[in-house]
């Protein structure tokens, strides 16, 4: 897999943005990507030094829908999350203003 296939998208939430203060960034990654593949992909794409990686498999939520009087249910897809810790002093510019980095 290429680096752009491994890193799907950055996770932009209040919790993940507070981690940027201590050089931690969260990404949605390919479900079969290993920590070594994630490390090489982040270093290649963003030109930073990765110190540590934590990964977790996130289960999809079950959702209920009601449409025209018919109730159905479905499940969102499972996905994998990686929390990447960078070398002190380095950061990744994700675009926009991050109020937690000021």
Tens digits of per-residue pLDDT, 33-59? 999 999 999 999 999 999 999 999 999
pTM of the model: 0.85
Query: Which pLDDT belongs to residue 101?
Result: 56
Query: CATH topology for 3-89?
Result: Alpha-Beta Plaits (3.30.70)
Query: Which pLDDT belongs to residue 95?
Result: 73
Q: Residues 10-48, buried b or exposed e (16+ Cβ, 10 A)?
A: ebeeeebbebbeebbbbbebbeebeeebbbebbeeebeb
């Amino acid at each position: 897999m290429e680096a752009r296939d491994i890193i799907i998208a950055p996770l932009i939430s209040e919790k993940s943005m507070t981690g940027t203060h201590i050089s931690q960034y969260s990404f949605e990654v390919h479900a079969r990507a290993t920590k070594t593949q994630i490390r090489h992909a982040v270093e290649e794409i963003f030109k930073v030094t990765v110190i540590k990686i934590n990964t977790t498999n996130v289960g999809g939520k079950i959702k209920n829908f009601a449409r025209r009087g018919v109730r159905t249910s479905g499940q969102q897809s499972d996905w994998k999350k990686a929390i990447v810790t960078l070398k002190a002093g380095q950061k990744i510019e994700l675009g926009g203003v991050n109020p937690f980095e000021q």
